[in-house]
Structures are given as structure tokens and as C-alpha cells.
């Protein structure tokens, strides 16, 4: 007879789960009629398997052990049942199947209620969580003080079950129970119960669907796979939720008998990956059985608290600028401008993709010899209204377009794998201009790229790295603050309560104090350069010129935007007490520039107006009640959609393709070093070397996920927040194409219905 321990042989997740359930029944029923009580996640797995004919726990004549009946551990349904409930009465053996990692706190009271109201001869508790992580579970979900001995370990749980079983036997009217064994209670761990297999390589972690709600992508089917109960999502970035997801992922890996190597992209995914790496390290040496498989685990962030993700090696403001809301029209140039009601700082600001669409509309007529220069003039006008950050966004798009019309598809995909440098753009322009002229040849695109290059070169060579280093410093500061803040928010979370608004404001104010301290003042060399650059155009300097230059060439505005984006709490905007300080810091830069220019007139009002405009804009970037105003598009998983107008693939599909192909995955951070390491380096004065140089950011391991996957027999991709059916289908297709002998699993906290997911294997 197959033992439960043998059920994790290498095979599909569905096959393993089916074998596990049959094995549990065969091992523990011992010929007695068995009633199964399952929590919501396991019950959903059983129901889905029964509907698809995978498992027949209730059907006779299958040659497999069968249960007398299956019931839910849902507290509301248990209360409605009253006594024995409807249908068949319970058998003499009860088998509890629990997939939730929070079972000591959430499920144990229901188990106690079942055992004390009915006389059973024996009971078996089967939980998904391996005993090695029970200590971590108890720290996050303290066991119920009622009917459970402390601390949480196997002997105490067995003793508690024995006591509850005895209470049920004493209160029952059925007479003296028959005990078939010296040990009428048993505990078994079955980690595969944490996951719900849906198709050949797709799974859910049902235990996480409410705490990490999926984002709306505007799809007609969005409501079908959006979690119905959002009550637990109030603080989706808290320590408790991160712990719960980490424990679920580690439980699944334990069921697959795998050792994880964790990679992530996005804020919440980064925290989960680091936590998983810590748990894995702690339990690795204590595992009761040898680890057979090395698994590459890729976590992609798509949660409601997701803010502009930082792709290491790219400019943080690229992400913010790309996320700016635009009108959907593609007709007149004005239709691509930022919606006036959403911000008035830069009414002429135009997003990168919109600029490309405008370029296509403005291609010069082949007979118009001045068309190329006219297009260049138009573009220079548009670009001058923008800022250097906009040029950073344009780099990849322009380079890809230039490579496509140069008939060089290899170059076209290169920009998606990293930041395109000015030197790379110049090389591409030179190569394009060196091509033989043809009737279809137009120099407009090359001229535009050259304009981008020229604008970047003007005055930025000496200061760009300094600004970039300051922003990376701020990113580390904010990351450390967020980790600390999340722990503070969750102090009461283990008791089911959260920090009140006053306490949250106090913590956020302290965080903004650190942010403002991290923003560097303008250096003497920068002020000297500003003086030369502004005054060479005109002797009379206007307020608009100063404001425009501050916006384009100084770090403070962009860093305030980044802080507002990365530190946005559940409530909207910058804390009211911090807003004057933020405006004061911004106005200080205005005053420094005005003084450097020798302005004699009062600049107080102009500085104040400039600071207010930047702060108003930062408010637009902040999260409001878990939803970002005007920035939903960026928070979708696909940063750019594939199609005839671009060579970009969705982020999830691209990451999976790179991992399985062995390519370097520049988006993925390896969870090798924690935030504490980076903070320590920074405090010791070592971080600046990494931040201002050309190397990787401090505390970020650059181990290649593709190389790691090439030596592993298993790749697990988990989307925090879930995936749509269409996205999952594309990833499954990539896995079929590139997976080889490896087992590739794709999962999320939510996905399409079981019916839709079944189509993945068709």
C-alpha cells in the first residue's frame, strides 16, 4: 500500500495531490467509516478534482478507499448544522484536511467544535505545514489558548487532540466508544494540500487569495477571478500577510521535496522572496528527509500595494514617468497629453509611447526635402517641454524602433534586457545613417534619436551619476523604512487589530523625515553649471526658466515623486504635517538657484508656488485606498504589450522566457542579501561606492536566474496577486516550448476559474 511519504514522487502536481489524498484515506481509516472535514482551500481542491474526474473519494467500486462523507470546516456552516447536520451521520473515524498555514489560530477552534460535539473512535489531523515551520507559524498566528497546549509542537497537538476526542466521547449518548488502537489520534503533514492544481502546470494557493487581491486589468472577465472577500486586504503589505504567503510557498516547496533558490521583481515579492530564503535556510539542516530537487522560484509582484517597480540598473524615474496617465485618443497631439484635471505642472508632458505614435503621424513626405528637418524641429519642441527623465523612457522605445527599420531584429529585443545607454543609441544612429539611401528611407527617426542624445549630453555628463546615486540611496532608505513600518503596522495584526490613523500618521511622518534627510542639497558645481546654462540663453531669467531647470536637472523633485510612490500608505497622499516640510525642502533648491543667478527681485512667492506644484504632483502619484489615481495601467503585469507597434512582450512572459532560455534576467533580484545588509553597508559608508559607480546596487545579488534554472529540474513561477487566464496560457505555451526535462509550475493567489484553467492543457 502506498504510504503518504511516497506520494511526492516526481510527476504532475495533480497526480501527486490525487495520490496523496487516496494514500491518506488508506493509511488512516483502517477499515472504519471515515468522515472528512476540510477547510476551504482543501475542499475546493477536492471539489475541483471530483468535477474533473481526477479523484473519487466518495465513489464506490473504484478500487480506492473512499470516504463516507465530506464536510466543511467553515465556522458558519458548522454552526448552521447544529447537531449531526443533514445527510449521512459522521463515521467513527474523522479525518481533518487543513491547507491553511494559519490553522493553529483560524481552524483549530472548528476542529475542537467538531470533536467535542460527536463521539468518534479515532481522529487524524492532516495539515499542510511541515513541522519544521510550526515555530514560524506560531510566531505569526499564535495558537488559540482554548483546547490547545503550548508551545506548538507535535506532542502537544497530539495531547490536545486526545483530550478533545475524550470530551466528545464523554458527552455523547452513543455509549462507550470502541478504540481500535492504542493511539486513537494521529497527525500527518501533507504539504501538497497547500496548493490547488488546476491544469498540467498551473496551481493556486487558495490560502492567499484574499490577502493579495488581483488588480483589475480592464478585462471583461476580471470580476470572475477577483476575490469576493476583500476584508483581509486592508493591509496587504503588512508583515502578517508577507509571512502567510512565504509560509505557503515554503509549504508547497516542501511538498515538492525541493530546495528553493528565490528571485523576485517588485516590492512585496522582494520581501516574500527574502523571507522564503530565510525560512529555507533555517529548516534546511533540520529537514527529516533529504532534499532531492533544486528549484528556481520566481516571484512576480502584482499586488494592490504595488508601486512603480525598480528594475535594477534602470532609472527609478523612468518607471514613474512611464506611468503618467494619458488620454486614450490617438488623433491630434493634444489627445496624448496628460489629462489636465490630473495635474498641471507639465501640461505639455507627453508619454513615450505617445511620442512614438506622434512620430508615425508626422513622417515627412518623400518628396519634401525639408520634411525631416521639420519633423526634427517639432520633436525638439516637444522634448524641450519634457525633462531628461522622459528621454530615459524614450531610450528603449526609440532604440527598438530604430533597430526594426534597420532590419536588425537582434538589436530590437536588446533594449528590453536592460537600460539603453547614450553610447548605444549613438552607435545605432551612426549605423542607420551609414545605410544606403533608398526611396523609402526617412531620416526622421534617426534625427529624433540624435536630438535625444544631444539633449542628454547638454550639461548632464558631470552630474547624472551623482543624481542617480542619490536616488538609489533614497531607494534603500525607503526600502528599510517600509520594512520597519510594515512590522509596526502588524504589531497588533496577530491579534486581529491594526494601527489607528494617528499612530500611522506618526510613523509616516518619521519616515518622511528620513526621506527628506536623504535628499542631497545642490552642490556648488551644480549651481555653477545651472548659472552658465541658464544665462547663456538670455540675460533676463524668468521664474519659468528656473522652475523648468529645477524640474529637469535637479534630484529633489524626482526623489519626492519616488518617495510619494514608494512610501504611500493605505490612505492617500503625503502626511499633512510633512507637506510643509516637503515644500520647504523644494523651495530651498529654488532659492539656491535664484541666489546663484543673482536674482535681485524677491523669489519667495515663486519658490513657494514651485514647491506647491511639485507636491501636488506627488500627491497624484500616491496610493489612495489601495488604488492609485490614474496609474492603474502601470500596475498591470505587462509593462508593454506585444503587437505590431513594438518588440516588447509582457513582463511575466518575458521573465519566464528568459529564465527558461538561460538569458540574463535583469529584472530579477536574487534573495541572497537582506535589506539589513544593504542598510549596514550604507551606515558604514560603504554604500556610496556601489551607488555612484557602475556596479550593482548595494544589497542586490546579481546571480543570474537563467543560469540557475539551467541546472535545476524545477522552476516555480508565482505571481503575487494572481494572473489572468490569457497570461497563464501564454506562460504555459512558453513552458511547453522551453521547459525541456524541467518541471515548470505557474501559480498565483488568484487565476481564472477551474473550467478556464482546464483549457490550458487542451
Of 376 and 743, the structure prediction assigns the larger pLDDT to: 743
| Rounded Cα gap, residues 661 and 576, in angstroms | 49
Query: For residue range 246-265, what is the model confidence (pLDDT) as tens digits?
Result: 999 999 998 888 888 999 88
Task: Give the residue among 598, 633, 721 at the shortest CA–CA distance from 301.
Answer: 721
Of 331 and 568, the structure prediction assigns the larger pLDDT to: 568
Residue 252, pLDDT score:
92
Q: What is the mean pLDDT of residues 74-101?
A: 72
> Bridge partners of 34?
93
Residue 142, pLDDT score:
87
**C-alpha torsion sign, points 750, 755, 761, 762:** negative
pLDDT above 80 for 332: no
| Rounded Cα gap, residues 32 and 26, in angstroms | 10
DSSP 719: E
Query: For residue range 538-575, what is the model confidence (pLDDT) as tens digits?
Result: 667 777 778 777 776 677 877 787 677 667 654 456 78
- Alpha helix locations (H) across 554-603? 555-566, 579-596
380 CB-side CA count, 13 A: 14
Of 220 and 183, the structure prediction assigns the larger pLDDT to: 183
Tell me the DSSP string of 49-99: HHHTTS--SS-SSSSS---SEEEE--HHHHHHHTTT-SSSPP-SEEEEEE-
Of 530 and 279, the structure prediction assigns the larger pLDDT to: 279
- The residue with cell 528611407 is 441
- Residues 6 or more apart whose CB falls under 8 angstroms from that of 353 comprise 397, 640
Residue 158, pLDDT score:
92
Residue 90, pLDDT score:
85
Q: Are 111 and 160 in contact (CB under 8 A)?
A: no
Joined together, the cell numbers standing for residue 347 give: 501640461
Q: Are 108 and 144 in contact (CB under 8 A)?
A: yes
Identity of the highest mean pLDDT range in 67-76, 414-423, 498-507: 67-76
Query: For residue range 639-675, what is the model confidence (pLDDT) as tens digits?
Result: 333 333 333 346 678 888 889 988 877 668 888 644 4
- Residues 6 or more apart whose CB falls under 8 angstroms from that of 427 comprise none
Joined together, the cell numbers standing for residue 113 give: 467544535
| Rounded Cα gap, residues 403 and 648, in angstroms | 13
- The residue with cell 531610450 is 395
| Rounded Cα gap, residues 654 and 646, in angstroms | 14
Residue 460: pLDDT band with limits 50, 70, 90: very low
User: For strand 69-72 and strand 34-38, is the pairing parallel, antiparallel, or unpaired?
Assistant: parallel
What is the longest distance spanned by two Cα atoms in the chain? 103
pLDDT above 70 for 214: no
> Bridge partners of 72?
38
Tell me the DSSP string of 116-143: HHS--SEEEEEESS-GGGHHHHHHHSPP
Residue 399, pLDDT score:
58
Query: For residue range 599-632, what is the model confidence (pLDDT) as tens digits?
Result: 655 667 788 888 887 887 677 555 433 333 333 3
Residue 159, pLDDT score:
92
Query: For residue range 343-374, what is the model confidence (pLDDT) as tens digits?
Result: 222 323 333 333 334 334 434 343 444 444 44
Joined together, the cell numbers standing for residue 290 give: 533529504
Residue 696, pLDDT score:
33
Residue 679: pLDDT band with limits 50, 70, 90: very low
Residue 304, pLDDT score:
37
pLDDT above 70 for 463: no
Q: Are 653 and 252 in contact (CB under 8 A)?
A: no
| CB neighbours of residue 538 within 10 Å | 9
Residue 377, pLDDT score:
44
Q: For the purposes of burial, counting CB atoms within 10 Å of the CB of 543, is it exposed (0-12), middle (13-18) or buried (19 or more)?
A: middle
DSSP 350: B
Provide the percentage of residues in the chain whose pLDDT is more than 90: 9
**Average per-residue pLDDT for the chain:** 65
- The residue with cell 545613417 is 433
Domain ranges in the chain are: 4-193, 198-306+637-687+699-761, 316-457, 464-628
Of 6 and 739, the structure prediction assigns the larger pLDDT to: 739
Residue 16, pLDDT score:
81
Residue 689, pLDDT score:
30
Residue 760: pLDDT band with limits 50, 70, 90: low
Strand intervals (E) in 151-255: 185-189, 196-197, 202-204
User: For strand 627-628 and strand 623-624, is the pairing parallel, antiparallel, or unpaired?
Assistant: antiparallel
259 CB-side CA count, 13 A: 16
Task: Give the residue among 740, 735, 715, 727 at the shortest CA–CA distance from 263.
Answer: 715
Of 195 and 576, the structure prediction assigns the larger pLDDT to: 195
Q: Are 439 and 465 in contact (CB under 8 A)?
A: no
| Rounded Cα gap, residues 66 and 24, in angstroms | 11
| Rounded Cα gap, residues 339 and 630, in angstroms | 9
Joined together, the cell numbers standing for residue 216 give: 483589475
Of 5 and 253, the structure prediction assigns the larger pLDDT to: 253
Q: Are 426 and 395 in contact (CB under 8 A)?
A: no
| Rounded Cα gap, residues 147 and 363, in angstroms | 77
Whether the upstream peptide bond of residue 477 has omega within 30° of 0, thus cis, is: no
Residue 709: pLDDT band with limits 50, 70, 90: confident
pLDDT above 80 for 733: yes
Q: Are 276 and 249 in contact (CB under 8 A)?
A: yes
User: For strand 34-38 and strand 93-98, is the pairing parallel, antiparallel, or unpaired?
Assistant: parallel
pLDDT above 60 for 193: yes
Residue 262, pLDDT score:
93
Choose the weakest-confidence range: 402-416, 479-493, 550-564, 678-692.
Answer: 678-692
- CATH no. of 4-193: 3.40.50.2060
Q: What is the mean pLDDT of residues 307-324?
A: 32
> Bridge partners of 646?
643
Identity of the highest mean pLDDT range in 226-230, 232-236, 401-405: 401-405
Residue 339, pLDDT score:
23
| CB neighbours of residue 511 within 10 Å | 22
Residue 393: helix, strand or coil by DSSP?
helix
> Bridge partners of 337?
350
Residue 303: pLDDT band with limits 50, 70, 90: low
Number of H helices, E strands in the chain: 30, 14
Residue 700, pLDDT score:
41
Query: For residue range 625-642, what is the model confidence (pLDDT) as tens digits?
Result: 333 333 333 333 223 333
- The residue with cell 518607471 is 319
Residue 640, pLDDT score:
32
Task: Give the residue among 666, 676, 597 at the shortest CA–CA distance from 274.
Answer: 676
| Rounded Cα gap, residues 585 and 518, in angstroms | 11
Residue 52: pLDDT band with limits 50, 70, 90: low
Query: For residue range 288-302, what is the model confidence (pLDDT) as tens digits?
Result: 555 567 899 999 876
Q: Are 123 and 165 in contact (CB under 8 A)?
A: yes
Query: For residue range 129-148, what is the model confidence (pLDDT) as tens digits?
Result: 999 999 889 888 888 766 78
CATH T-level fold of 198-306+637-687+699-761? Rossmann fold (3.40.50)
How long a stretch of residues is the chain? Answer: 762
pLDDT above 80 for 403: no
- Residues 6 or more apart whose CB falls under 8 angstroms from that of 438 comprise none
- Alpha helix locations (H) across 302-366? 316-322, 352-361
Residue 56, pLDDT score:
58
| Rounded Cα gap, residues 11 and 54, in angstroms | 15
Amino acid at each position: 500500500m502506498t504510504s503518504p511519504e511516497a506520494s511526492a514522487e516526481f510527476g504532475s502536481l495533480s497526480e501527486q495531490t490525487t495520490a496523496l489524498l487516496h494514500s491518506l484515506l488508506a493509511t488512516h481509516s483502517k477499515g472504519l467509516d471515515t468522515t472528512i472535514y476540510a477547510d476551504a482551500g482543501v475542499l475546493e481542491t477536492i471539489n475541483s478534482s471530483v468535477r474533473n474526474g481526477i479523484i473519487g473519494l466518495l465513489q464506490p467500486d473504484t478500487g480506492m478507499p473512499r470516504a463516507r462523507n465530506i464536510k466543511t470546516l467553515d465556522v458558519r456552516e458548522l454552526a448552521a448544522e447544529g447537531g449531526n447536520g443533514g445527510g449521512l451521520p459522521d463515521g467513527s473515524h474523522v479525518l481533518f484536511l487543513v491547507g491553511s498555514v494559519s490553522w493553529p489560530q483560524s481552524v483549530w477552534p472548528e476542529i475542537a467544535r467538531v470533536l467535542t460535539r460527536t463521539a468518534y473512535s479515532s481522529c487524524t489531523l492532516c495539515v499542510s505545514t511541515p513541522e519544521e515551520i510550526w515555530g514560524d507559524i506560531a510566531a505569526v498566528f499564535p495558537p488559540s489558548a482554548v483546547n490547545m497546549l503550548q508551545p506548538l509542537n507535535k506532542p502537544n497537538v497530539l495531547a490536545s487532540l486526545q483530550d478533545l476526542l475524550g470530551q466528545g466521547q464523554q458527552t455523547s449518548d452513543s455509549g462507550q466508544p470502541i478504540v481500535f488502537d492504542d493511539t486513537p489520534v494521529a497527525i500527518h503533514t501533507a504539504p501538497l494540500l497547500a496548493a490547488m492544481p488546476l491544469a498540467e502546470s498551473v496551481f493556486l494557493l487558495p490560502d492567499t487569495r484574499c490577502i493579495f487581491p488581483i488588480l483589475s486589468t480592464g478585462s471583461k472577465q476580471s470580476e470572475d477571478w477577483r476575490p469576493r472577500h476583500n476584508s483581509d486586504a486592508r493591509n496587504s503589505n503588512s508583515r502578517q500577510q508577507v509571512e502567510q504567503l512565504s509560509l505557503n510557498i515554503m509549504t508547497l516547496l516542501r511538498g515538492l521535496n525541493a530546495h528553493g533558490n528565490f528571485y523576485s521583481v517588485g516590492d512585496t515579492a522582494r520581501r516574500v522572496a527574502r523571507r522564503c530564503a530565510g525560512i529555507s535556510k533555517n529548516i534546511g539542516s533540520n529537514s527529516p528527509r533529504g532534499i532531492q530537487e533544486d528549484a528556481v522560484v520566481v516571484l512576480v509582484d502584482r499586488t494592490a500595494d504595488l508601486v512603480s517597480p525598480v528594475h535594477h540598473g534602470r532609472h527609478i524615474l523612468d518607471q514613474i514617468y512611464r506611468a503618467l496617465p494619458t488620454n486614450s485618443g490617438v488623433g491630434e497631439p493634444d489627445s496624448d497629453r496628460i489629462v489636465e484635471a490630473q495635474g498641471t505642472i507639465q501640461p505639455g508632458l507627453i508619454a513615450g509611447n505617445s511620442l512614438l505614435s506622434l512620430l508615425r503621424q508626422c513622417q515627412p513626405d518623400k518628396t519634401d526635402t525639408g520634411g525631416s528637418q521639420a519633423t526634427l524641429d517639432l520633436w525638439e519642441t516637444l522634448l524641450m517641454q519634457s525633462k531628461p527623465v522622459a528621454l530615459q523612457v524614450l531610450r528603449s522605445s526609440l532604440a527598438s524602433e530604430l533597430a526594426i527599420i534597420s532590419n536588425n531584429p537582434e538589436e530590437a529585443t536588446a533594449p528590453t534586457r536592460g537600460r539603453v545607454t547614450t553610447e548605444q543609441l549613438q552607435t545605432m544612429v551612426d549605423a542607420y545613417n551609414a545605410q544606403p539611401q533608398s526611396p523609402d528611407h526617412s531620416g526622421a527617426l534617426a534625427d529624433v534619436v540624435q536630438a535625444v542624445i544631444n539633449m542628454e549630453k547638454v550639461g548632464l555628463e558631470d552630474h547624472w551619476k551623482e543624481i542617480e546615486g542619490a536616488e538609489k540611496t533614497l531607494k534603500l532608505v525607503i526600502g528599510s523604512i517600509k520594512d520597519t513600518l510594515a512590522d509596526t503596522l502588524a504589531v497588533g495584526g496577530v491579534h486581529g487589530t491594526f494601527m489607528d490613523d494617528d499612530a500611522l500618521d506618526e510613523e509616516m511622518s518619521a519616515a518622511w523625515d528620513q526621506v527628506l534627510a536623504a535628499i542631497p542639497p545642490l552642490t556648488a558645481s551644480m549651481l555653477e553649471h545651472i548659472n552658465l546654462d541658464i544665462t547663456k540663453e538670455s540675460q533676463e531669467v524668468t521664474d519659468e526658466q528656473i522652475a523648468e531647470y529645477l524640474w529637469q536637472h535637479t534630484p529633489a523633485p524626482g526623489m519626492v515623486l519616488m518617495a510619494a510612490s514608494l512610501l504611500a500608505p493605505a490612505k492617500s497622499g503625503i502626511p499633512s504635517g510633512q507637506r510643509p516640510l516637503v515644500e520647504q525642502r523644494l523651495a530651498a533648491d529654488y532659492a539656491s538657484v535664484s541666489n546663484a543667478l543673482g536674482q535681485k527681485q524677491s523669489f519667495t512667492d515663486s519658490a513657494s508656488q514651485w514647491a506647491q506644484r511639485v507636491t501636488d504632483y506627488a500627491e497624484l502619484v500616491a496610493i489612495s485606498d489601495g488604488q492609485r489615481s490614474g496609474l492603474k495601467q502601470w500596475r498591470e503585469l505587462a509593462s508593454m504589450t506585444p503587437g505590431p507597434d513594438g518588440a516588447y512582450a509582457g513582463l511575466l512572459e518575458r521573465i519566464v522566457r528568459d529564465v527558461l532560455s538561460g538569458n540574463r534576467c535583469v529584472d530579477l533580484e536574487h534573495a541572497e542579501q537582506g535589506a539589513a545588509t544593504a542598510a549596514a553597508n550604507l551606515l558604514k559608508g560603504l554604500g556610496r561606492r556601489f551607488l555612484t559607480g557602475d556596479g550593482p546596487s548595494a544589497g542586490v545579488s546579481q546571480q543570474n536566474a537563467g543560469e540557475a534554472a539551467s541546472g535545476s529540474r524545477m522552476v516555480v513561477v508565482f505571481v503575487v496577486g494572481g494572473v489572468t487566464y490569457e497570461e497563464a496560457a501564454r506562460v504555459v505555451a512558453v513552458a511547453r516550448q522551453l521547459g525541456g526535462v524541467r518541471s515548470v509550475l505557474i501559480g498565483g493567489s488568484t487565476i481564472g476559474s477551474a473550467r478556464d484553467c482546464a483549457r490550458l492543457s487542451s
